């Protein structure tokens, strides 16, 4: 039985197959509309989510399956003290596959050791968010036509943003990808990530000003400041509007640069940018559904 806990759980060849499948689902949705008939997805979300949970639900419904779960730890038996290990044993009797989000790093990994169904990590604390990474990779591959030979700027909360950590983890396996980390001093990319890049001989640089590097970028990955992972509100308020991508800054960028964002957006991208055809964050949401459909089919061994 297979799980998806980290982006690296799939080889690049397996990812290619997954993305091809997602592409086919996009073109021929009716071919897949009943493939999960009789199957149940459990969404166990111990932390708030709109996009990811609904994306999983939409994916399962699109395949003809059904969904059960909870969207708030407060409404689950976690409030009675139940462990994740016990919860997943029970869920294994109710569902065929489970997507789990948890504020504690590693919780879905613990669940996977006790589960008798595939477990998908839907985000664990500030650690990883592999299905967002699959979404990001599919978006880049579909719109740029490749997953190599580009410079990507990651901007915002690089310290706490799990989507950033996951995406870097996945991109280091492709050729000639250069990283530019754009963040305030307080929200810099963790040392362990830089150490990994140095060890792998992958070029990167760190800057504070977004304007300075805009012309160099093929891709700009914006992120929000992760309020819920801050220790005090004062720091959050000071840093939350550090970056605001607007029309003016977009003028500094290449004509074919793409702007991605895992969403939710707070203030870091001004709504005027939405009209720019280089802004692809809402397209990204649609790719997220296709790739989750492909993932469910793959983990359930239905393709």
Residues 129-188 that bind ligand NCD (CB under 6 A): 129, 132, 162-163
Residues present in the chain in total: 303
Q: Where are the alpha helices (DSSP H) in 67-149?
A: 84-94, 107-114, 130-144
Task: Work out whether the CA dihedral 188, 193, 198, 202 comes out positive or negative.
Answer: negative
User: Could you tell me if 98 and 44 are in contact, meaning their C-beta atoms sit under 8 angstroms apart?
Assistant: yes
Distances (CA, A) of 47 to 74, 122, 163, 262, 274: 9, 10, 15, 16, 28
Structure tokens, 251 = 């003028």
HSE-up (13 A, CA, CB side) for residue 21: 22
- Residues designated as active site: 51-52, 80, 101, 129
Residues 20-59 that bind ligand NCD (CB under 6 A): 51-52
Q: Where are the alpha helices (DSSP H) in the chain?
A: 12-27, 29-32, 51-62, 84-94, 107-114, 130-144, 162-171, 191-199, 210-213, 233-239, 247-250, 281-299
Residues that contact ligand NCD, how many (by CB under 6 A): 12
Nearest-approach distance from CB 140 to ligand NCD, in angstroms: 16
120: β partners:
4, 99
Nearest-approach distance from CB 303 to ligand NCD, in angstroms: 25
Closer Cβ to ligand NCD, 52 or 92, answer by number: 52
Piece of the chain touching ligand NCD by CB under 6 A; list 14-22, 142-150, 256-264, 269-277: 256-264
Nearest-approach distance from CB 51 to ligand NCD, in angstroms: 5
Nearest-approach distance from CB 132 to ligand NCD, in angstroms: 5
CA pair distance 280, 286, nearest whole angstrom: 10
- With binding defined as CB under 6 A, does residue 108 bind ligand NCD? no
Nearest-approach distance from CB 30 to ligand NCD, in angstroms: 28
Distances (CA, A) of 232 to 48, 235, 238, 284: 19, 6, 11, 32
221: β partners:
154, 260
Q: Give the one residue of 128, 159, 262, 291 binding ligand NCD; rule: CB under 6 A.
A: 262
User: Could you tell me if 41 and 296 are in contact, meaning their C-beta atoms sit under 8 angstroms apart?
Assistant: yes
Closer Cβ to ligand NCD, 65 or 123, answer by number: 123
Closer Cβ to ligand NCD, 69 or 262, answer by number: 262
Nearest-approach distance from CB 263 to ligand NCD, in angstroms: 5
Piece of the chain touching ligand NCD by CB under 6 A; list 30-38, 243-251, 260-268, 294-302: 260-268
Residues 224-253 that bind ligand NCD (CB under 6 A): 224
Closer Cβ to ligand NCD, 141 or 162, answer by number: 162
Residue 214 CB partners (closer than 8 Å, separation 6+): 153, 220, 249, 252, 253, 257
Piece of the chain touching ligand NCD by CB under 6 A; list 4-12, 71-79, 106-114, 259-267: 259-267
Closer Cβ to ligand NCD, 142 or 223, answer by number: 223
Which stretches of the chain bind ligand NCD, using CB under 6 A? 51-52, 123, 129, 132, 162-163, 223-224, 262-264
């Amino acid at each position: 039985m297979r799980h998806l806990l980290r982006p690296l759980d799939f080889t690049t060849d397996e990812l290619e197959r997954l993305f091809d499948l997602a592409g086919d689902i996009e073109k021929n949705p009716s071919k897949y509309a009943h493939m999960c008939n009789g199957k149940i997805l459990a969404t166990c979300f111990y932390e708030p989510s709109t996009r990811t949970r609904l994306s999983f639900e939409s994916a399962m419904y699109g395949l003809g399956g059904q969904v059960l779960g909870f969207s708030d730890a407060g409404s689950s038996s976690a409030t009675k003290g139940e462990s994740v290990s016990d919860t997943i044993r029970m869920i294994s009797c109710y569902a065929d596959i489970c997507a789990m989000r948890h504020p504690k790093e590693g919780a879905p990994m613990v669940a996977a050791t006790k589960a008798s169904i595939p477990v998908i990590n839907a985000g664990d604390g500030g650690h990883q968010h592999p299905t967002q990474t699959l979404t990001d990779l599919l978006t880049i591959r579909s719109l740029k036509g490749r997953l190599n030979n580009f410079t990507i700027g990651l901007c915002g909360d690089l310290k706490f943003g799990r989507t950033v950590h996951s995406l870097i983890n996945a991109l280091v396996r492709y050729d000639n990808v250069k990283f530019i980390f754009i963040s305030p001093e307080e929200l810099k990319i963790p040392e362990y990530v830089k150490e990994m890049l140095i060890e792998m001989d992958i070029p990167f640089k760190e800057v504070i000003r977004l304007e300075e590097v805009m012309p160099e970028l093929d891709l700009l990955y914006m992120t929000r400041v992760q309020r819920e992972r801050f220790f005090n509100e004062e720091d959050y308020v000071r840093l939350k509007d550090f970056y605001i991508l607007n029309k003016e800054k977009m003028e500094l960028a290449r004509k074919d640069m793409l702007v991605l964002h895992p969403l939710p957006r707070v203030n870091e991208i001004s709504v005027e940018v939405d009209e720019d055809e280089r802004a692809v964050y809402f397209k990204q949401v649609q790719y997220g559904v296709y790739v989750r459909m492909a993932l469910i089919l793959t983990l359930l061994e239905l393709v």
